[in-house]
Amino acid sequence: MLMADTDVVIVGAGFAGLYQLHRVRGLGLRARVFEAGSGVGGTWYWNRYPGARCDVESLEYSFSFSPELEQEWEWTERYPAQPEILRYAEHVADRFDLRRDITFDTRVTHATWRDDHWEIRTGGGEELTATYCIFATGCLSVPKEPDLPGVESFAGPTYFTSRWPHEGVDFTGRRVAVIGTGSSGVQSIPVIAGQAAALTVYQRTANYVVPARNAPLDAATQDARKAEYPTYRKLARESLAGLLGTPSEVSALSVTPEERTAAFDQAWERGGLGSFRQSFGDLGLTLEANDTVAEYIRGRIRGIVADPETADALGPKDHPFGTKRPCLDTGYFETYNLPHVRLVDLRKTPIVAIEPTGVRTTDELVEVDDLVLATGFDAMTGALLAVDVRGRDGVRLRDVWAEGPSTYLGLGIAGFPNLFTITGPGSPSVLSNMLVSIEQHVDWITDCLAALAGRTIEADEQAQERWTAHVAEVGAQTLMHHANSWYLGANVPGKPRVLLPYVGGVGPYRQICDDVAAKGYEGFRLTETA
């Protein structure tokens, strides 16, 4: 048996990698973390676009593992902005003295299983061996390649929301084009409009956008939560989406139209991601129920946007509410009432090419100074497959997942011993408050490492097949397949169309994982290391 250079290699220093490092150290294991960026924070390190903020409330989107950390950290807003979340990640790194084991500006390029250990190679040429390898590489960390003809020919600056310059961008007096109206576009468009001389927004798919109702966080609210944190954290862990607020069990079709509108009005006023889920329980289950909320939101848009043609184009029609991630906004629809802001509906006039001076559609060339791409990510599998991962007998993860990912619980992969994925495909992950899911996975992996005591662990192929079938089966009971969403890989040309996250809910999923552990890691093979 080889004495590995380190016990654990962790890839990525976002919230997942940071917490995993802290827990692994607690076991007395040696660990190295590699991070492609120059600092900690992952998502909140890279996505510095104007208007970037969390769509889960700060008092919920925060770590629960340390009561001291919970008590000492002061949030300033209901939905914290990117700089504040990044400061929080940096505080966590400093408070728990994590940086000394993190190598920044270093991408892991290869991970190869060699009989009883992982051989890790970095872009800088470093090679090291580790008994265990944990991928904390993020679900939304690899920007989608822009599939826009001629994009490289644009003469002015091109900005990706997901790789925003650290020094910021001043759009004052500039003519700007934004392509993409997912969460990143919806958050950045009102802020860019506040600076630019002219803003043209290119929309392919209209999205459901719900008010965030962001506000400063008053001391009384924060103190009250701090006094009861354990209770609230427990509720979030046992919930379906890792969020507080009880989902309704009432059918949207069981009430009168007036009662339904009144419930939707309340949800709209409450704002936030889970607000409509608290109105009715079947919005995600039947098209008929879903149509009621879809029409309600289209009506709201018509009520805000003055130009009827623009209002109609902004109203989502081609997918049910909730089958793409709903966006939270601050003044998004109002932005289209500004005289210098224009929406181009790409369903009517598609982009033909990006040219050196601007964006050409089938209708016109709009000349712009700056191009902003809010075009999304190669989600959930992109970062894992960007690494050349080779398991037992040299088998490549890229080949194994050619038809879509197959995992056991989103935590392990058959044929890839001693490898763990945090919030991997097949787990609730992106359908949840991610901090809740990250803590759950890290805690489970840490307990597993302790139980292994150096033994080798590998997901059993049959258990993996059963789990993958279960993920698909539960997903098929929802409306998720009715949208060309990144949840299905449908946003990336050529990507297999498979529902990537597990829709069974955070609480039930946690129970399943705990049961697996309690039964001696049922569905995994544990062997003495040779």
In the complex, the residues that contact ligand FAD under the rule CB under 6 A are 11-17, 34-37, 42-43, 45, 47, 52, 54-56, 61, 107-108, 136-141, 184, 383, 386-387, 422-423, 433-434, 438
Q: At what angle do helices 506-518 and 434-452 cross, to 10 degrees?
A: 0
Residue 182's binding partner among ligand FAD, ligand NAP, none (Cβ under 5 to 8 angstroms by kind) is ligand NAP
Q: How far is the CB of 202 from ligand FAD (least distance, A)?
A: 19
Instruction: Return the number of other C-beta atoms located less than 10 Å from residue 320's C-beta.
Output: 22
- Partners of 217 in beta bridges: none
Q: Which among 434, 431, 420, 411 is positioned nearest to 42, based on CA atoms? A: 434
Q: Which among 369, 332, 365, 333 is positioned nearest to 349, based on CA atoms? A: 365
What Å distances lie between residue 212 and 45, 269, 271, CA to CA?
A: 22, 9, 5
What are phi and psi for residue 372, nearest 5 degrees? -115, 125
Residue 335's binding partner among ligand NAP, ligand FAD, none (Cβ under 5 to 8 angstroms by kind) is none
Stretch that binds ligand NAP, among 218-226, 263-271, 332-340, 370-378 (CB under 6 A): 370-378
Q: Which is nearer to ligand NAP, 8 or 328 (CB)?
A: 328
54 binds ligand NAP (CB under 6 A): yes
Q: Which is nearer to ligand FAD, 498 or 506 (CB)?
A: 506
Q: Which is nearer to ligand FAD, 139 or 445 (CB)?
A: 139
What is the amino acid identity at position 146?
P
Residues 468-527 contacting ligand NAP, CB under 6 A: 486, 491
Identified binder of ligand NAP from the candidate list 64, 106, 187, 323, rule CB under 6 A? 187
**What is the rounded distance in angstroms from the CA atom of residue 407 to the CA atom of residue 421?**
9
Identified binder of ligand NAP from the candidate list 171, 276, 377, 416, rule CB under 6 A? 377
Stretch that binds ligand NAP, among 222-230, 303-311, 369-377, 465-473 (CB under 6 A): 369-377
Q: Which among 56, 40, 132 is positioned nearest to 506, based on CA atoms? A: 56
Stretch that binds ligand NAP, among 176-184, 257-265, 309-317, 406-414 (CB under 6 A): 176-184
Stretch that binds ligand NAP, among 14-22, 140-148, 335-343, 390-398 (CB under 6 A): 140-148
What is the amino acid identity at position 134?
I
Q: How far is the CB of 179 from ligand NAP (least distance, A)?
A: 5
Structure tokens that stand for 222 in this block: 């924060």
Q: What residues contact residue 393 under an 8 Å CB cut-off, 6+ apart? A: 415
Residues 7-26 contacting ligand NAP, CB under 6 A: none
Q: How far is the CB of 94 from ligand NAP (least distance, A)?
A: 24
* Residue position matching structure tokens 């059993």: 460
Identified binder of ligand NAP from the candidate list 92, 134, 199, 328, rule CB under 6 A? 328
Identified binder of ligand NAP from the candidate list 55, 57, 119, 439, rule CB under 6 A? 55
Residue 376's binding partner among ligand NAP, ligand FAD, none (Cβ under 5 to 8 angstroms by kind) is ligand NAP
Note whether 415 and 395 are within 8 A (CB).
yes
Q: How far is the CB of 508 from ligand NAP (least distance, A)?
A: 21
Residue 137's binding partner among ligand NAP, ligand FAD, none (Cβ under 5 to 8 angstroms by kind) is ligand FAD
Which helix (DSSP H) or strand (DSSP E) does residue 461 occupy? helix 461-476
Note whether 378 and 396 are within 8 A (CB).
no
Structure tokens that stand for 463 in this block: 């258990």
Structure tokens that stand for 115 in this block: 């009989």
Helices (H), 305-415: 308-314, 332-335, 382-385, 397-400
Q: What residues contact residue 152 under an 8 Å CB cut-off, 6+ apart? A: none
93 binds ligand NAP (CB under 6 A): no
Determine the 3-state secondary structure of 44 from DSSP.
Answer: helix
Residues 287-326 contacting ligand NAP, CB under 6 A: 325
**What is the rounded distance in angstroms from the CA atom of residue 278 to the CA atom of residue 506?**
17
Q: Which is nearer to ligand FAD, 36 or 236 (CB)?
A: 36
381 binds ligand NAP (CB under 6 A): no
Site size toward ligand NAP (CB under 6 A) is 26
Identified binder of ligand NAP from the candidate list 128, 191, 250, 346, rule CB under 6 A? 346
Note whether 408 and 463 are within 8 A (CB).
yes
Q: Which is nearer to ligand FAD, 36 or 196 (CB)?
A: 36
Q: Which is nearer to ligand FAD, 354 or 374 (CB)?
A: 374
Size of the chain, expressed as the number of residues it contains: 530
As to burial, measured by CB atoms within 10 angstroms (0-12 exposed, 13-18 middle, 19+ buried), residue 402 is: exposed
Identified binder of ligand NAP from the candidate list 39, 50, 138, 180, rule CB under 6 A? 180
- List contacts with ligand NAP (CB under 6 A): 54-55, 140, 147-148, 179-185, 187, 204-205, 325, 328, 346, 351, 374-377, 430, 486, 491
